[in-house]
Structure 1
Amino acid sequence: MCREHSKLRDGRIVAVKRLYENNYKRVMQFENEIAILNRLQHPNLVTLYGCTSRHSRELLLVYEYVPNGTVADHLHGDRASEGTLVGWPVRLNIAVETATALAYLHKVEPQIIHRDVKTNNILLDNNFHVKVADFGLSRLFPVDATHVSTAPQGTPGYVDPEYHQCYQLTDKSDVYSFGVVLVELISSKPAVDITRHRHEINLANMAMNKIQSGALHELVDPALGFDTDWAARRMIKLVAELAFRCLQADREMRPSMEDVVEVLLQGIQDCQQDEVERARDVDQLVRDDASLLKNNVPFSPDSVMDKWASRTTTPNTSS
């Protein structure tokens, strides 16, 4: 499979996904992606413009072009050195927009499970707004079904362990994968890294251990201001706690994507309100200090020159 971009006759720049292997599995993924994307319209989901026929010599999908690479590129890939995701607010917005897109997928009828949520499938435009992409593994969920029994598919490091063990796909499988994305956003570390200690190769395991042991500071990217920025520290802790809930082994313990969005937005609102109150308190302190300075008469500089009579005498040791 290859991704490239091209230009249409009307001047639009588009992304083209080309499937070189014209086998049964690829054709099924090709048709699946078309069927799903034709149902969707959301500002944080990539838009499908068109495609070739399944009987064509080449299988092509034509999307809107999203020019700024993937979240993975900027966190720990080829573009990490650019430092474009150093600021915590940008990363927090990526988390909110990705969660909003997944919540939308889980609310449409029939429900859609993405099944391959990862930072490589979260595209960014030039303003760092999110476009979730790659629906080749996605599944339409039957109405009123509790799960779909299917062989586990996805990317190592992101796959729901309960789905992997029991072959039961649910919307909570996407929640688990999103939990890994949250940990990537606060740590700047890849989901799998064989150069790490064997107990920390899997980022989800590392995060659960660090959070449980109260060592969150060892997980967080130092560039995010966790030790110096009060507001960033508060929201990073909230996101870490949310990731911890998303990564629970028992899917029933995980929140829904709708709950995830609510927690993130409420946390942002609370943090902003606290910032306003802190600023108001500081302003009041400044006004109080100014009032004290105005109402108190300063000492005369001459007063320090007055003779000071001691009430005690010092013995003359020389006599």
Structure 2
Amino acid sequence: MVCNAQHRRYKMLSDSSTAVRLGDDVLQDWKLIGRGGFGAVYYARQKDWRFDVAVKMLHTNDSEQLWKEAQNMIRASSQFVLRVFGVYQGIPPGGTTDKRVGIIIEYMKRGTLESLLEVLPGPPPWPLAFRLAHQLALGMNFLHTMAPPLLHRDLKPSNVLLDDDLNAKLADFGLSRVSCSVLKNSGKTTGDQGGTIYFTPPEAFQLSYQPVRSYDIYSYGIVIWSILTGAVMPSLVALLVPLGERPLSDAVDQSQAEGLSDLVKLMERCWHQIPDERPSFGDCLEVTNGVFSRHEIAIRHAVDQVLSKLDSESQTQQNPKNACVLQSINAVSSQVHSRDIAHCHSIKKEDLHKKGPVDGVKLTKPLSNEEKAKFVDNHRANIIQEVSMAMAIIENLGNMVHPETYSEIQAKDKNQDKIRVLYSTTLHSGGVKVKAAFYDGLETHEPNLLEMMNRKSSP
């Protein structure tokens, strides 16, 4: 019965009038390019089409969920949404012998908005930052004005992909659903909540919450903050969102460009504590269009400037001599730890590269990978007991975690159990490099915990 049900769901997926069915006979040169809580994304070359595609597959091989996501993306087809080419059934590389199903989508070699912000020392050049904010508003407005409206429910920098000219496209529709604001009088319910805590509105933490369009608008406000600061919301602030805590708007120097103050005001309206006080995406477009139009003449130069930076970064990573310089810069950046809640998120990326104190925090000598690994070994018990952002840290390790280990970790309910599995597998066998990467994950997601353990171990 189960096999028959799975077959029927796959048949629905492959019979879509707009979806082409592809298998291993036409996909070659597979490479794993990303993995998250949902599953994995691969790069592959479609040998008949002679261009590259991406293949998204779930860890659970749930064809029904893939069908839902593919259908939502096909419904939302536009220049601001990642294109779906078809569906996949086959045996991907990586040791599995079971047939898997997936969605075949556009391959965006420039990565995501998140990866762009990680590479740049601060926010993108203002013309590009304003265009990104405007294109996201255009894409989200398209979803919200469909009939019936479609919610994204997981809008964040890692789900915004960039094409060759750094235009933004919405991706990852695994949590999308028809707007509850349309269904609220019909007696229908919306099911699971989903989403990512940093971009989740305060009202969504209530058990009885039913998602509506203001959910996406809140997330958009946080994404604007990330674009304008080039930073990620600190975990402490994210945990206090239900109490009204937000990233500090002061992190954006509004005097640096014309229209910045307008975008900051829009950002604050979008993350308003009261959902009904948030603007629609149509309202957002009136602001973003006005701001971008003032800087549109400079967009080509801004894009070329960033593309040059990205190409240079790629060459540096491939050249061991230049890579030493890059590693030293990243190491200095990672030494700034959080302070009290009121100020930890007001640091700007560009300040991290200055010599001396940053807002009263003294930069210490960067730890070597060997020192980081030793720290991870020596503090095993404390780390296992105290870490609260286990999956976020584990996902930072990327391909270092074997798929089977990742599935085992994901199946554990408690953070302590997840970290215990990681210690007994990946950290046990991975050596210095993996332990150092785990330490870096602690710095990103658990800065206060790391600072506390450092103080305890200091003479």
TM-score by length of 1: 0.69
Aligned mate of 1:62, from 104, 107, 129: 104
CA RMSD across the alignment: 2.7
Q: Does structure 2 conserve the Cα–Cα contact (< 8 Å) formed by 1:14 and 1:62?
A: yes
- Gap change, CA 1:172 and 1:200, over 3 Å in 2: closer
Partner of 1:21: 60
Partner of 1:72: 114
Q: Does structure 2 conserve the Cα–Cα contact (< 8 Å) formed by 1:45 and 1:133?
A: yes
Partner of 2:83: 47
Q: CA deviation at 1:153?
A: 1.2
Partner of 2:450: none
Deviation per CA, 1:78-110: give whole Å up to 9, x if none: x335x7x53111011011001100000011112
Deviation per CA, 1:7-66: give whole Å up to 9, x if none: 1122021111122322xxx44431210121221221010000011369x92021100111
- Structure number with greater Rg is 1
Deviation per CA, 1:285-317: give whole Å up to 9, x if none: xxxxxxxxxxxxxxxxxxxxxxxxxxxxxxxxx
Partners of 2:218 and 2:132 lie apart in 1 by: 17
Partners of 1:105 and 1:199 lie apart in 2 by: 29
Question: For structure 1, which runs of at least 5 residues remain unmatched after alignment?
Answer: 274-319
- Gap change, CA 1:200 and 1:36, over 3 Å in 2: closer
Partner of 2:310: none
Question: For structure 2, which runs of at least 5 residues remain unmatched after alignment?
Answer: 1-38, 91-97, 297-459
Partner of 1:178: 220
Alignment of 1:99-138 (within 5 A): 99-138=137-176
Partner of 2:49: 10
Q: Does structure 2 conserve the Cα–Cα contact (< 8 Å) formed by 1:122 and 1:131?
A: yes
Partner of 1:167: 209
Matched, 1:256 2:292: no
Q: Does structure 1 conserve the Cα–Cα contact (< 8 Å) formed by 2:154 and 2:195?
A: yes
Aligned mate of 2:71, from 35, 53, 58: 35
Q: Alignment partner of 2:108: what SS?
A: coil
Q: Relative contact order: is structure 1 or structure 2 higher (C-alpha 8 Å, sep ≥ 6)?
A: 1
Partner of 2:394: none
Q: Does structure 1 conserve the Cα–Cα contact (< 8 Å) formed by 2:83 and 2:106?
A: yes
Partners of 1:167 and 1:183 lie apart in 2 by: 25
Q: Does structure 1 conserve the Cα–Cα contact (< 8 Å) formed by 2:181 and 2:212?
A: no
Partners of 2:238 and 2:181 lie apart in 1 by: 39
More helix by share: 2
Q: Does structure 2 conserve the Cα–Cα contact (< 8 Å) formed by 1:123 and 1:133?
A: yes
Partner of 1:243: 267
- Gap change, CA 1:110 and 1:206, over 3 Å in 2: closer
Q: Does structure 1 conserve the Cα–Cα contact (< 8 Å) formed by 2:127 and 2:295?
A: no
Work out the percentage of aligned pairs sharing the same amino acid: 25
Partner of 2:135: 97
Alignment of 1:195-234 (within 5 A): 198=236, 205-207=245-247, 210-211=248-249, 216=250, 219-220=251-252, 226-227=254-255, 229=256, 232=257, 234=258
Match of 1:175, as an amino acid? Answer: I
Q: Alignment partner of 1:239: what SS?
A: helix
- Gap change, CA 1:268 and 1:18, over 3 Å in 2: closer
Q: CA deviation at 1:263?
A: 1.8
Q: CA deviation at 1:162?
A: 1.1
Q: Does structure 2 conserve the Cα–Cα contact (< 8 Å) formed by 1:29 and 1:137?
A: no
